[in-house]
Structure 1
Amino acid sequence: MKVNYHFKLISDYMEILAICFYLYYTIIGMRLFPVVVCKALAFVIKVKGTIKRFLREDKNLTHVFEENVQKHPDKIALVKVGCRNWTFRQVDNYANQVANYFYEKGYRKDDVVAIMMESSPEYVCLWLGMAKIGVRAALINFNLRQEALSHCINISKCKAYIFGSEFAPAFEESRHLMPNGGVQVFCYGDECPQTSFTKQHLNPLLNASSSLPPPRDQVCKFSEPIFFIYTSGTTGLPKAAIVIHSRYYYMASSVHHFFRMNENDIVYDTLPLYHTAGGILGIGQMLIKGCTVVIRPKFSASRFWDDCIKYNCSVTQYIGEICRYLLAQPEKSVDRGHRVRVAYGNGLRPQIWKEFMSRFNIERIGEFYGATEGNANIINPDNVVGAVGFTTRIAPALYPVTLIRVDEDTAVPIRDRNGMCIMCKPGEPGEMVGKIIEGDPLREFDGYVNKAESTKKIAHDVFTKGDSAFLTGDIVVMDRYGYIYFRDRTGDTFRWRGENVSTTEVEATISNIVKLNDAVVYGVEVPGTEGRAGMAAIVDVNHQVDLVRLYKDLQQHLPAYARPIFIRLLEKVDVTGTFKLKKTEYRKEAFDPSKVTDKMFFLDSRNGCYSPIDAQVYQQICAGKIRL
């Protein structure tokens, strides 16, 4: 068996190397091919070999972390801004206490525990400790409320809930939507308020538990799930994306390798840890690479560089909005007084890319693109301005990620006369897809807890007859060298404030509030901002919509990033042949009063209401004089 494994491994690598050298000598004129492709090839070979070794040795991420603990037990692993430091030994000991407590209470491999807490070292220790005994954590977005919150907990089929004491009111108001029996409820925090939601105070229970290594009689394999991350998709409420140990390892290792990080780096992580960017690409630098990670639970533009200086950070994470907020701050000495050399993330607008690097003296921008559950993850390895990533066009077998033509209105793949998907030419927009290869840890599609939702993200007959590929839901453009540039999202989601917004979820909420059947939500571009701002077109033929009530109810039922920035009240309705509102046309008209005769309003945060849009207000929004 061992001989067969090594033969297959060597065979795979030799085949890839043969293709690489052939292309190098025959197409040597292709810009950056030897540098970019060969560098990527070397990394893929290395990471595939490591993952296969872990699979063979029945190891997982917790073993990788424990190797770092043995290597430097007293090195600082995690820091929460304004709080105490945690060494690798202390993180491991507390994770062991978590593991031992839940093991003694009968929790075993494949059980699920939902966690809703503020970003902190303790949050990491909770899911890491559970992973040591094979228990999967469901990482709940703490912005969610009521239906969305209860939905995420219910679909996880969890055996217990853990909520931070600061979120007790959120759990209390959602109590009637959750199971009443058979599920343990824990409150985590120094003090836990008394509520009608039955609970146990977890802190003293963990403190009384042993910090010795827990039993490892049911260890998860590298190909099995470590936790669930919730992601908004094209069909309504959040979906629980399955994250397996090998995918976590691959994603965290990729940014570490391509953005030239090392174990001596101190990473500043101000992104929420329930998302991939903060919880995997950030915390993963500590977990598998031995770096120190500084956690700030809530982003602060005014304190960003002060924190980096105070904690001696050399690397920081971003989303596009963070970069814009930092540039909007008054210039001061700390802008260049730090030692940050790498900033990595996604969504940095090309228009401010160079300005951001220049003002804050950043040597390298590490832009990447990917989905938590997807296999079409790409990286911009050499700081090409505006590119979200790179993939080779001249040897697609090396990394089978490509662009296919899709219908602009329906997002359905366009096919040729043989029923095959049509690949896009350079400069032609299309949906990015990643070929699914069973048994390949980098090419499998792990999908969602809900298998029906997983099926919706798969297309067939894409690269070759009978194959399958993961649909990213994003429209991108590839240039002739293989660099990829983001254009838009397909389907019923858009990105705003670093979050994916499900239009169908917002539409359902609005319909419940205004008691109308017809309402559509879509994203519109606003000059100078990342992503797309939410806009709701509501049928109001009889002038019955109460915008004051709508504003208040949306605050109660939706997280801030999902609340529509713009409202359009439709006095007449244009529908498609299937009686759907023409969302595509509304999206094109956006909030421009020169194109729209309907009444329109914007979310006026200064006055706490929806205020009318006229030509003057429109110009002020476009000029950035009115902040959204």
Structure 2
Amino acid sequence: MNQTKQSDLIGFTDVAAKLPKFLNKVPHIVSGLKQAYLRTPNTAAGLGLAFERAVKRAPQTIALRYEQQQYSYQALNEWSNQIAHFFLAAGLQKGDVIAVMLENRSELIATVIALAKIGVISALQNTAQRGRVLSHSINLVKARAVIVGEECRSAIDEIRQDLSTAHDHFYWFADQATVEDHGIAPFNYQNLAEKIIPFATFNVPTTQSVKGKDGLFYIYTSGTTGLPKAVIFSNSRWALAYGTYGHILDLNQQDVMYCTLPLYHATGIVVCWCGVIAGSATFVIRRKYSTSAFWRDVATYNVSAIGYVGELCRYLLDAPTSELDQSHRVRKMIGNGMRPTIWQNFKQRFGIEEVLELYASSEGNVGFSNVFNFDNTVGFSPTPYAVVQYDKAKDEVIRDKKGHCIKVKKGEVGLLIGKITKRSPFDGYTDPEKNKAVIMKNVFKSGDAYFITGDLVRDLGFRHAQFVDRLGDTFRWKGENVSTTEVENICSEYPKLQEAVVYGVEIPYTDGRAGMATITLHPNTHLDSQDLSQMYIDFKKNLPAYAVPLFLRVQSQLETTGTFKYQKSKLKQQGFDPMQISDPLYVLLPNESTYTLLDAEIFKNIQQQQYRF
């Protein structure tokens, strides 16, 4: 855990020194805040309305670029209108849900705008999901239809018989520029690009009837336990992000935002894109992140701002230096997870002036944004929150004699909790029972309620914080949240495994935590070379790549507490050092398809960055 430098602490004089540059943004920020806060649940709001306003401001400005494709605001709007008119004619109504599974490409953007205009909720599927995890995600939201790109069709085909969606409500986009060539749909799918051809290009009449309280997206999160949970992302919440993050970014029609983040996550589809829409700027998307292509793309598209997560920043910093590192016009970036250990190096090497680091979660009600452009902080929060003392050993908050939580002092680490109010509601999960588990009541006084973020942060002062770590049964790896319960369930299905406990461990010089499973075997069994290969095959088949455990530890018996909870804290501390652990250890090395015995030499090479995990 990183120690806070005294210089990271923030006071009034530090903020005052930042005011001159901040004041230049004030008119745009004030405009955004009016749109964000001067609304009610019944006010017309959201993505569809904001996009149509951007079209009016700059109809011929390029709204979207993807590979060789580009679409002006007007052209993208007309394409989206055709999709919207088609689904209206098909009987879809406000509040219905459509599961959308496409990788980052133009058809995904057009579809999301279209559904937003008619009040249909886009359930944005993680394109890495497979098997029962995927079928669970789609059935959970009672999807009336499924829209899939050819690049994801095999995943849908595998679980189609398990879905509750009507068989004739599966729509398909070819993996190409379907505006130019709609392609030929496979059996049992309707060709959406072909279906929309006869439909009108003018704005649908429903956009103004979409209210703030209406759903916009379902974004999936591992939450704290179990299979993926569908988080309700309302149009009101999108308007809040648009009015804050979107306007603080302060883009204009000459700006170009480059986003390689997956658009099924809120950082890409909400944070990066809403800043583009707010400034009628250009959104450049890439199918998948590539270190070698990153700065070439920046030059090709004349990019001025980039979206990021911490892992992406580390990859770029680890790459060999190049003349492209500063031969660009990128001066600002927005995202989350920039580690204090690389913050200054990244800014200096790539000539970045403004890091708009932020903190938010898909389901949470508290957000931070680095509006004053300080280093090493997730920024400032205008929403009501508290950082309270937390006992990691007991896995619980610390309370005083009256039973109330205790706020940490400036510079100290504690659990971040967000106060639930009318202005900062907790929209929650689709399952009411899961909502109860993340709400803490009677925190500072009788009757108050706070959302438990599950994150440890350091209070830097002046309503600024620094992210430290994630608690509980979720950890973050490769920019994704990994549910330990989900991985434990999959691991336990392997015939020889009796129990599995999954947790995240730190690998030097990497962001987040890599998955490690401590397992026990059924009596009279042992792992052989075939098992070590087959386990990887099974895990890969049923889990996203980022959730496959990289380390295995074999124990004869798992240690539990008096209340039969696994001793995860102890296992995390012990990690994967073979000199400290007598149990057999195995590792899935990069580009390997089997687990390898982890000995002292391999451990040393891991510590010395000989492997790129």
User: How high is the TM-score relative to the length of structure 2?
Assistant: 0.91
One-letter amino acid of the counterpart of residue 244, structure 2: S
Does the alignment pair 1:194 with 2:186? yes
Offset at 1:233? 0.9
Match of 1:544 among 523, 526, 534: 526
Distance 1:390 1:53 in 2: 21
Offset at 1:311? 0.7
- Write the mapping of 1:119-518 to structure 2, written as runs, cut at 5 A: 119-179=104-164, 181=166, 184-189=169-174, 190-191=182-183, 194=186, 198-216=188-206, 219-391=209-381, 399-409=383-393, 411-438=395-422, 440=423, 443-518=424-499
Q: CA RMSD in A?
A: 2.4
The structure-2 alpha-carbon separation of the partners of 1:180 and 1:389, relative to structure 1 and needing over 3 Å to count, comes to: closer
Distance 1:63 1:583 in 2: 47
Offset at 1:580? 3.2
Distance 2:310 2:83 in 1: 35
Aligned residues of 1:108 and 1:135 also touching (Cα < 8 A) = yes
Aligned residues of 2:258 and 2:306 also touching (Cα < 8 A) = yes
Aligned residues of 1:127 and 1:137 also touching (Cα < 8 A) = yes
The structure-2 alpha-carbon separation of the partners of 1:125 and 1:475, relative to structure 1 and needing over 3 Å to count, comes to: same
The structure-2 alpha-carbon separation of the partners of 1:497 and 1:214, relative to structure 1 and needing over 3 Å to count, comes to: same
Deviates more, 1:283-292 or 1:358-367: 283-292
Match of 1:530 among 482, 502, 511: 511
Distance 1:254 1:54 in 2: 14
One-letter amino acid of the counterpart of residue 452, structure 1: E
Match of 2:583 among 598, 616, 620: 598
The structure-2 alpha-carbon separation of the partners of 1:347 and 1:414, relative to structure 1 and needing over 3 Å to count, comes to: same
Distance 1:349 1:507 in 2: 29
Deviates more, 1:416-425 or 1:335-344: 416-425
Cα offsets for 1:158-204 (capped at 9, x unmatched): 11011111111101111232126476111111445635xx3211110
Structure 2 segments unaligned to the other structure (5+ residues) = 1-9, 175-181
Q: How many pairs does the alignment contain? A: 589
Offset at 1:329? 1.8
Aligned residues of 1:285 and 1:292 also touching (Cα < 8 A) = no
Match of 2:561 among 564, 572, 576: 576
Aligned residues of 1:61 and 1:222 also touching (Cα < 8 A) = no
Cα offsets for 1:61-89 (capped at 9, x unmatched): 32221121111111100000x22211000
Distance 1:278 1:461 in 2: 35
Aligned residues of 1:134 and 1:218 also touching (Cα < 8 A) = no
Offset at 1:432? 0.6
Question: What SS is found at the alignment partner of 2:450?
Answer: strand
Distance 2:513 2:165 in 1: 39
Question: What SS is found at the alignment partner of 1:207?
Answer: coil
Cα offsets for 1:289-317 (capped at 9, x unmatched): 31111011111111101111111110001
Identity of aligned residues (%): 38
Distance 1:229 1:322 in 2: 21
Match in the other structure for 2:14: 32
Aligned residues of 1:160 and 1:186 also touching (Cα < 8 A) = yes
Distance 2:458 2:287 in 1: 35
The structure-2 alpha-carbon separation of the partners of 1:35 and 1:247, relative to structure 1 and needing over 3 Å to count, comes to: farther
Aligned residues of 1:518 and 1:538 also touching (Cα < 8 A) = yes
Offset at 1:217? 8.6
Match of 2:501 among 488, 499, 520: 520
Offset at 1:587? 0.5
One-letter amino acid of the counterpart of residue 194, structure 1: P
Aligned residues of 1:159 and 1:182 also touching (Cα < 8 A) = no
The structure-2 alpha-carbon separation of the partners of 1:356 and 1:130, relative to structure 1 and needing over 3 Å to count, comes to: same
Question: What SS is found at the alignment partner of 1:250?
Answer: helix
Does the alignment pair 1:77 with 2:63? yes
The structure-2 alpha-carbon separation of the partners of 1:423 and 1:192, relative to structure 1 and needing over 3 Å to count, comes to: farther
Aligned residues of 1:256 and 1:262 also touching (Cα < 8 A) = no
Cα offsets for 1:452-493 (capped at 9, x unmatched): 222222111224321111111111111345432222111100
Question: What SS is found at the alignment partner of 1:302?
Answer: helix
One-letter amino acid of the counterpart of residue 570, structure 2: E
Aligned residues of 2:369 and 2:379 also touching (Cα < 8 A) = yes
Match in the other structure for 1:627: 612
Question: What SS is found at the alignment partner of 1:484?
Answer: strand
Question: What SS is found at the alignment partner of 2:292?
Answer: coil
Aligned residues of 1:109 and 1:219 also touching (Cα < 8 A) = no
Distance 2:192 2:27 in 1: 46
Question: What SS is found at the alignment partner of 1:585?
Answer: helix
One-letter amino acid of the counterpart of residue 119, structure 1: N
Distance 1:559 1:512 in 2: 16
Deviates more, 1:174-183 or 1:274-283: 174-183
Match in the other structure for 1:114: 99
User: How high is the TM-score relative to the length of structure 1?
Assistant: 0.89
Offset at 1:390? 3.0
The structure-2 alpha-carbon separation of the partners of 1:286 and 1:331, relative to structure 1 and needing over 3 Å to count, comes to: same
Match in the other structure for 1:394: none
Aligned residues of 2:303 and 2:329 also touching (Cα < 8 A) = yes
Aligned residues of 2:272 and 2:307 also touching (Cα < 8 A) = yes
Match in the other structure for 2:7: none
Distance 1:200 1:94 in 2: 18
Cα offsets for 1:126-161 (capped at 9, x unmatched): 121112111111111110001110011001111101
One-letter amino acid of the counterpart of residue 331, structure 1: T
Match in the other structure for 1:18: none
